[in-house]
Amino acid sequence: MTAPILPGSTIGVLGSGQLGRMFAIAARRMGYRVHTFSPETDTPTGQVADVEIQAAYEDLDAVREFTRHVDVVTFEFENIPVTTVDTVAEHVLVRPSGGVLHTSQHRLREKTFLARNGFPVTAFRSVSSLEDLQASVHDLGLPAVLKTAGFGYDGKGQSKITSLSAGEAALQALEAQEAILEAFVDFEREVSVVAARGLDGVFAHYGVIENAHCHHILDVSIAPAAVSPKIAEEAVTIALSILEALDVVGVLCVEFFLTRDGKLLVNELAPRPHNSGHLSVDSCVTSQFEQQLRAVCGLPLGSTAQYRPAAMANLLGELWQHGEPHWPAACAFPEVKLHLYGKLVPRPGRKMGHLTALAASAEAAATLVGAARKALQHDAP
Ligand code: AMP
């Protein structure tokens, strides 16, 4: 087996957002150095990394130079061009591999991979013209959800359509070469499994996490999810099979819909730590970020045991609309932890930070984290 990449080595991170920041914090805590590469400066990752490189992902000379100073490269953002990852891979190890990124950064490729390998997904069609759209609406019925095939996240580039004419308008508005039409899932709840796979093929997971979205953006996650042991086992088995089928070395999150008749459908894959796994930082023996570090360095994975039930609430830019949130009010809750990502401009919908609460049950943690988030708000003047 390949020798592990040991503390003191340097990890390269493609992307520079909050996922890279929390990864870099975990890596530095374990004695690694971190270099981040993205088109921006003073980024959430760059603020805690040893070196922040600002260059376009398409600047392959800069990419090659970046690889000269790192021992392994991972990514924190899946919309990295495949040519960038291929260039990195010519010079240094990339984990997970570019193939995992290639499959999961494009919704059509991802759903096709899942369906071909027998994983349960909602019915979908490829749409690249108005004729395709008409035929797809005919096949799948309405309502349906139209999404860009590539480069979409947090509900960006997607809309629920309830008529063919609305679908035509939505397709034109997407200005995308390729789109995907999905049958609308009238789900009971949304859940996710954050899982890791080591270089030796060992699998670890954080159980089932339950997620509530607001305007297509994750709002609150709780763990453990209130699902039956049978559903939990099924979700974890599906996640294990997906990580094996993709030969993942790293962390990958599987997002699911749980339908009203008790079926799990895979909605999306994220080949990296995930927003729903942020609660692992405060509530588990090994956070999802440390787990990613261990996996990409070829170290044994850590325990995912949860100390206490937890809930996480995102802090979006809206919270700043009447001024700086009232941080001491959230810190007045002794079992609530504040995480901020160092972003300077609080735009609506932008993930600026999160709160995690620990309690005797996941429901109690959700109530607590909701109260702490509410306490942050200033009343409108
Ligand atoms: P996505 O960007 O695909 O993860 O979608 C973001 C959110 O939109 C999901 O978490 C769901 O709440 C909702 N959504 C996406 N696709 C569907 C679908 N086919 N049916 C119902 N809701 C959906």
pTM of structure: 0.97
Ligand 1 centroid to 216 CA: how many Å?
7
- Would the CB of 182 count as within 6 Å of ligand 1? yes
pLDDT, tens digit (0-9, with 9 covering 90-100), for 294-328? 999 999 999 999 999 999 999 999 999 999 999 99
pLDDT, tens digit (0-9, with 9 covering 90-100), for 232-253? 999 999 999 999 999 999 999 9
- Would the CB of 156 count as within 6 Å of ligand 1? no
With 60 as the cut, is the pLDDT of residue 353 above it? yes
Residue nearest to atom 10 of ligand 1 (CA): 216
Average pLDDT over residues 123-127: 97
Average pLDDT over residues 45-65: 98
- Would the CB of 213 count as within 6 Å of ligand 1? yes
pLDDT, tens digit (0-9, with 9 covering 90-100), for 96-116? 999 999 999 999 999 999 999
pLDDT for position 259: 98
Smallest CA-to-CA distance from 67 within 97, 87, 38 is with: 87
- Would the CB of 181 count as within 6 Å of ligand 1? no
Q: Counting atoms of ligand 1 from 1, which one is nearest the CA of 122?
A: 19
pLDDT for position 78: 87
- Would the CB of 78 count as within 6 Å of ligand 1? no
Distance (Å, whole) CA 152 – CA 167: 18
Confidence of residue 154 (pLDDT cuts 50, 70, 90): low
Percentage of the chain modeled with pLDDT above 90 = 93
The answer to whether residues 179 and 212 touch, using CB atoms and an 8 Å cutoff, is no
